[in-house]
A and B are shown apart, each in its own frame.
Chain A
Amino acid sequence: MIIAENSLVSVYSDSMAFLLILGLTIIPRKRDAVDGTRERMFFAMCLLSMINALGSCVAYAVHGQSGSFFMSIELAAKTVLEVALLLMTYQWLMYVDYMLYRSRDQLARRYKYFFLPILILLVLLLVNLFTGVLFTIQPDMSYRSTWVYYVLMAVEYIYFALAFGIIYQYSAKHKHNQVFRITPIIIPVILGTLVNILTDYSASPLGFAIGLVLLYFSFIDSFRYDDEKSGYYNRSYLVGLVEGNEKGADAFCGAICFEASGDGAKELPEILRSELPAKSTIAHIDGGRYILLTRSRRMSDLGFIADMVEDAAEGKVSISTQCFTRGKDQSAAAFIKEAAGV
Chain B
Amino acid sequence: MLWLSNINTGSVIMDIAAFFLLIGMMVNTRLYRQRGRIDDRIYFYLLVLNMVVAVFDTAIYFLDESPVQGKSLMLLGLESVFSILITLLPLLISLVLDYQWHRQEDRVFRLWKPMMVGVVYSVVIVVINWGTGLLYYTDARGVYTYAPAYPLVYVPTVIYTIYSLICGWNINKRLIAAYLILIAARLFLRAFLGDMSSTTFLYAVFLVYLHLQTMNEAFYEEEAQ
Contacts and interface: CB of A to CB of B under 8 A. Distances in A.
Interface of A: 3, 5-6, 8-9, 11-13, 15-16, 19-20, 23-24, 26-30, 181, 184-185, 187-188, 191, 195, 199, 201, 203, 206-207, 210, 213-214, 217-218, 220-221, 224-225, 236, 245
Given A20-B208, A188-B17, A15 B185 contact: yes
A12 B201 CA distance: 11
A30 B216 contact: yes
B42 interface: no
Band of interface residues on B? 35 or more
Contact of A184 (B24, B196, B205, B209): B24
B170 interface: no
Interface in B156-196: 174-175, 178, 181-182, 185, 189, 193-194, 196
Task: Give the one of B5, B23, B178, B205 with max A CB within 10 A.
Answer: B205
A195 to B, nearest CB: 7
A29 B211 CA distance: 10
Nearest to A13: B13
Interface of B: 1, 5-7, 9-10, 13-14, 16-17, 20-21, 23-25, 27-32, 34, 174-175, 178, 181-182, 185, 189, 193-194, 196, 198, 201-202, 205, 208-209, 211-213, 216-217, 220, 223
A27 B209 contact: yes
A188 B21 contact: yes
Closest CB pairs A-B (n = 9): A9-B10, A217-B28, A184-B24, A5-B6, A214-B24, A221-B28, A27-B212, A224-B31, A6-B6
A185 to B, nearest CB: 8
Contact of B194 (A8, A187, A206, A214): A8
A2 B185 CA distance: 20
Contacts of A12: 10, 14, 189, 193, 196, 198
Given A30-B216, A201-B9, A210-B21, 5 more contacts: A8-B196, A11-B193, A16-B14, A184-B20, A188-B21
B217 A30 contact: yes
B194 A30 contact: no
B21 A214 contact: yes
Nearest to A188: B20
B205 A23 contact: yes
A24 B220 CA distance: 18
A245 B17 contact: no
B190 to A, nearest CB: 10
B17 A16 contact: yes
B20 A28 contact: no
